[in-house]
């Protein structure tokens, strides 16, 4: 019996950064698929470019299927430099934030609309 390997990740040809742009005055980066040390570079570049020019960066995490410590490190670094909002984190991202103990520090919102509807924090 031949079994096909299990593959729950996004196809390799799909970029991990699905879109970037301004919505309601906030810079939004939409990420997707598996984010680990082999795939994080495009998201790393997109997030650092966003930090350089925006007071609030919203990461739409709704399509992230896996994330490891390289993703977690990126979130913490971005959070230290600007107001980071994590919108619609799925089970994988929520679990990672909770296990690492940063779910109390990093701001998560149930939906992208909720993340965009909140006024920026005071400096």
**What's the pTM?**
0.85
* For range 78-82, the mean pLDDT: 97
- Rounded to whole angstroms, the Cα distance separating 2 from 112 reads 42
d(CA 45, CA 26): 18
What φ, ψ does residue 41 adopt, rounded to 5°?
-55, -45
- Between 30 and 123, residue with greater pLDDT: 30
Q: Which CATH number is 17-113 given?
A: 3.30.750.24
- Those residues whose C-beta lies under 8 Å from the C-beta of residue 87, and which sit 6 or more positions away, are 28, 58, 59, 60, 61, 62, 108, 109, 111, 112, 114, 115, 116
Q: Please work out, in degrees rounded to the nearest 5, the angle formed at the alpha carbon of residue 16 by the alpha carbons of 34 and 91.
A: 40
Whether 43 and 35 have beta carbons less than 8 Å apart is answered as yes
- Residue range 3-33, pLDDT digits in tens: 454 444 545 557 899 889 999 889 999 999 9
């Amino acid at each position: 019996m031949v079994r096909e390997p299990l593959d729950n990740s996004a196809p390799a040809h799909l970029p991990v950064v699905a879109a970037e742009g301004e919505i309601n005055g906030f810079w939004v980066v939409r990420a997707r698929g598996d984010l680990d040390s082999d795939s994080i570079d495009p998201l790393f570049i997109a997030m650092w470019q966003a930090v350089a020019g925006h007071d609030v960066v919203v990461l739409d995490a709704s399509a992230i299927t896996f994330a490891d410590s390289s993703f977690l490190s990126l979130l913490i670094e971005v959070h230290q430099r600007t107001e980071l909002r994590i919108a619609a984190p799925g089970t994988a991202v929520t679990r990672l934030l909770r296990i690492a103990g940063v779910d109390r520090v990093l701001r998560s919102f149930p939906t992208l609309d909720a993340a965009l509807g909140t006024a920026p924090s005071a400096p």
